[in-house]
């Protein structure tokens, strides 16, 4: 499962999300929206206006959401187990 974390500079919730992904062993790509303004427009078109934004297959959310991170962790674990 491809997981992408969209961040902005100085974003505490972005750092917390990345830290939690690392603790849980979730492999992810990080893209800084300030360095990629074209991506910022795409993210806004999805209805998100605050960082971080996480997009993973059919899941997406914004903000630090421990419940969503745990749900993502379970999905990844299931995928690995069924592979």
DSSP state of 65: -
CATH of the domain at 49: 3.40.30.10
In whole angstroms, give the CA distance from residue 23 to residue 46.
28
Residue 69 contacts residue 76 (beta carbons within 8 Å):
no
Helix (H, G, I), strand (E, B) or coil at 3: strand
First to last CA, the chain: 12
pLDDT digits (tens, 9 = 90+) for 23-76: 999 999 999 999 998 898 899 999 999 999 999 999 999 999 999 999 999 999
Domain that holds residue 19: 3-82
Residue 82 confidence (pLDDT): 85
**Whose CA is closest to 54, among 79, 43, 45, 34?**
43
- Domain count for the chain, please give it: 1
């Amino acid at each position: 499962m491809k997981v992408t974390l969209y961040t902005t500079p100085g974003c505490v919730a972005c750092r917390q999300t990345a830290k939690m992904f690392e603790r849980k062993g979730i492999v992810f790509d990080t893209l800084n929206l300030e360095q990629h303004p074209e991506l910022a427009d795409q993210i806004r078109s999805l209805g998100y206006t605050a960082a971080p934004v996480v997009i993973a297959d059919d899941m997406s959310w914004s903000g630090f959401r421990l419940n969503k991170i745990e749900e993502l962790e379970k999905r990844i674990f299931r995928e690995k187990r069924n592979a």
